[in-house]
Amino acid sequence: MALFSVPIGTLALLLGVFWPLPPQPAPLDPTSEEDPAKAEQERRKALRRRAGVALLRLGLQVFGMGVLLGNLAAGLGGLESLGSLALLTALFALLVLIVQRSEPSRRVATLSFMAFCGLLVWNYANYRNVEVEANWSLYLALVLNWAFWRGVGRRFPVGSSTDIYVWGMDD
């Protein structure tokens, strides 16, 4: 039996993928009246913060993939109910899709709420004794969302709320 469960690996992987990077600091402006030494110090601090978040994201992704691959190598078990597998896959895939298509600045908040909803679904699956199907459905949901992102998500990225224009609100 693996040390960490499939939902922990899935959550770590999704956190690593969706955690936003701080914005890239602007290059120094030689014409500004600000102290160049202080501006350079602030720029370096922002770059260190960005690099720290990037390392955290990478660590979460590696940890999540390690847990998922470790559980896969340990064996998830045989499927007994294809109906339960289809229903759980649809539910988990919908939860991840909601996070994937949410506004980038609000993805971590959306992920935390959807993780809570996924925990409820996971506990219900354990209550109904379909843990194996729940494990397989998490893997299938990740693969389906990855395929959706490859086919649609990269071509049509999510916009921000500042781009929304409401018709009929012209003044």
| pTM listed for this prediction | 0.84
Q: What is the pLDDT of residue 2?
A: 62
Give dist(CA 26, CA 169) in Å, integer: 35
**89-99 pLDDT per residue, tens:** 999 999 999 99
Number of H helices, E strands in the chain: 5, 0
Give dist(CA 44, CA 34) in Å, integer: 16
Q: Are 107 and 54 in contact (CB under 8 A)?
A: no
**26-78 pLDDT per residue, tens:** 777 777 777 777 878 888 899 999 999 999 999 999 999 999 999 999 888 88
Give dist(CA 124, CA 3) in Å, integer: 22
**120-164 pLDDT per residue, tens:** 999 999 999 999 999 999 999 999 999 999 999 888 888 777 777
What six digits make up the tokens of 117? 């909803």
Examine the pLDDT at 114 and tell me if it is beyond 70: yes
Determine phi and psi for 26, rounding to 5 degrees: -70, 150
